[in-house]
């Protein structure tokens, strides 16, 4: 939806066809993409290939129009929110745009950003009040994202990945997706990926926008939700995800925004 001539927001849940592709022409300015659930691959149009999985934040800054290609290698359900601010608003309110091409950064969203996203996903207020509400939340969200990503990366050395290392990390993610309970020993994972531990952890965060621990937690909770939707009890889902019942309820509610018992009641 167009909140104002300078701000556009899109949000929702959808399940793409396996192998589906989509191409988007992105106008100059700032694009934020919050993936709360699911996974997909991206191509920035200049040859840079990215893989992202929920829960993740991706930020793109461009002085000119550019293309973003989406590829859905599997058929997961995606829950997302995207925010675009045009170049004039970015420079007037947030920061100057410098350089050519597209600047890309990613990270796991902070709890404050997740709370804002969930507020923006609620049914909107009617009329101008709703547009003003979303505009305020959108600017707050953009400010938090820019502060986190640019302050976080300014003093950090880049983790440069070769094509072979990217492939190893993608294979590692596939292993974790197939068996998320196997990811507790970082030293063992580093040996499997044929990378040193620092290169593996920094490279995983750079490539997928989250830490290995965050990705494993996400996969476990998604698998537990699938179990609940298929009729398992909350206790069974917690055991399968490697949680105590109390910790599972807290983690599930924080991740999905509601208690796991709601799905159990629907399945019964």
Per-residue pLDDT tens digits of the chain, which is 268 residues long: 667 788 999 988 888 888 888 899 999 999 999 998 888 888 887 777 788 877 888 999 888 888 899 888 776 788 899 999 999 888 888 877 776 778 888 888 888 888 888 888 887 778 888 888 888 999 999 988 888 887 654 444 455 678 888 888 888 888 888 887 666 688 888 998 899 998 898 888 777 767 888 888 888 888 888 888 888 999 999 998 888 988 898 888 877 767 888 887 655 4
CA–CA dist 138, 144 (Å, integer): 10
> Which residue, 129, 154, 179, sits at the end of a domain?
154
pLDDT of residue 153: 47
Boundaries of domain holding 175: 163-267
Q: Are residues 201 and 118 in the same domain?
A: no
Q: Are residues 141 and 197 in the same domain?
A: no
pLDDT of residue 123: 74
Q: Are residues 6 and 107 in the same domain?
A: yes
> Which residue, 125, 154, 183, sits at the end of a domain?
154
Q: Are residues 144 and 247 in the same domain?
A: no
Q: What is the residue whose two structure tokens read 């191409």?
A: 23
Q: 223 with 241: CB under 8 angstroms?
A: yes
Q: Are residues 129 and 193 in the same domain?
A: no
Edge-to-edge strands of the sheet including 102-107?
2-4, 7-14, 78-86, 29-37, 56-62, 102-107
pLDDT tens digits along 146-172 = 888 876 544 444 556 788 888 888 888
Q: How many domains does the chain have?
A: 2
Q: Are residues 69 and 9 in the same domain?
A: yes
Q: 105 with 142: CB under 8 angstroms?
A: no
Q: Are residues 145 and 167 in the same domain?
A: no
Q: Are residues 26 and 96 in the same domain?
A: yes
Mapped onto helix, strand or coil, the DSSP state of residue 266 is helix
Strand-pair partners of 82 = 10, 33
- Both tokens of 166, joined, read 């990217």
Q: 208 with 225: CB under 8 angstroms?
A: no
Instruction: For 168-226, give the DSSP string.
Output: HHHHHHHHHHH-GGG-S-HHHHHHHHTS-HHHHHHHHHHHHSS-HHHHHHHHHHHHHHH
- According to DSSP, the β-strands at 20-26 and 56-62 are unpaired
- Residue 50's CB: how many other CB atoms inside 10 A? 17
- What is the chain's mean pLDDT, rounded? 83
Q: 188 with 181: CB under 8 angstroms?
A: no
Three-state helix/strand/coil letters over 148-169: HHHHHHHCCCCCCCCHHHHHHH
Burial 83-95 (b: 16+ CB within 10 A, else e): bbbbbebbeeebe
Which CATH number do you get for residue 219? 1.10.10.60
pLDDT tens digits along 4-51 = 788 999 988 888 888 888 899 999 999 999 998 888 888 887 777 788
pLDDT of residue 155: 42
Q: Are residues 185 and 114 in the same domain?
A: no
């Amino acid at each position: 939806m167009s909140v104002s001539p300078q701000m556009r927001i899109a949000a929702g849940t959808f399940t793409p066809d396996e192998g589906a592709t989509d191409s988007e022409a992105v106008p100059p300015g700032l694009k934020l993409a919050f993936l709360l659930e699911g996974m997909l691959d991206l191509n920035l149009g200049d040859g840079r290939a990215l893989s992202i999985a929920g829960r993740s934040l991706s930020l793109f800054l461009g002085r000119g129009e550019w293309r973003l290609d989406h590829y859905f290698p599997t058929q997961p359900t995606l829950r997302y929110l995207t925010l675009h601010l045009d170049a004039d608003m970015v420079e007037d309110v947030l920061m100057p745009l410098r350089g050519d091409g597209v600047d890309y950064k990613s990270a796991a969203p902070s709890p404050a950003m997740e709370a804002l996203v969930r507020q923006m996903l609620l049914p909107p207020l009617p009329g101008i009040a709703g547009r003003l509400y979303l505009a305020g939340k959108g600017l707050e969200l953009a400010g938090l994202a820019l502060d986190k990503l640019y302050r976080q990366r300014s003093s950090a050395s880049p983790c440069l990945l070769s094509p072979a290392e990217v492939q190893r990390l993608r294979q590692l993610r596939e292993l974790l997706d197939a068996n998320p309970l196997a990811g507790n020993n970082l030293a063992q994972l580093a040996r499997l990926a044929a990378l040193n531990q620092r290169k593996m952890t920094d490279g995983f965060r750079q490539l997928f926008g989250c830490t290995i621990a965050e990705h494993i937690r996400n996969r476990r909770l998604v698998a537990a939700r699938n179990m609940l939707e298929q009729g398992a009890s909350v206790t069974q889902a917690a055991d399968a995800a490697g949680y105590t019942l109390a910790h599972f309820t807290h983690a599930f509610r924080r991740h999905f925004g509601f208690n796991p018992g709601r799905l159990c009641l629907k399945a019964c």
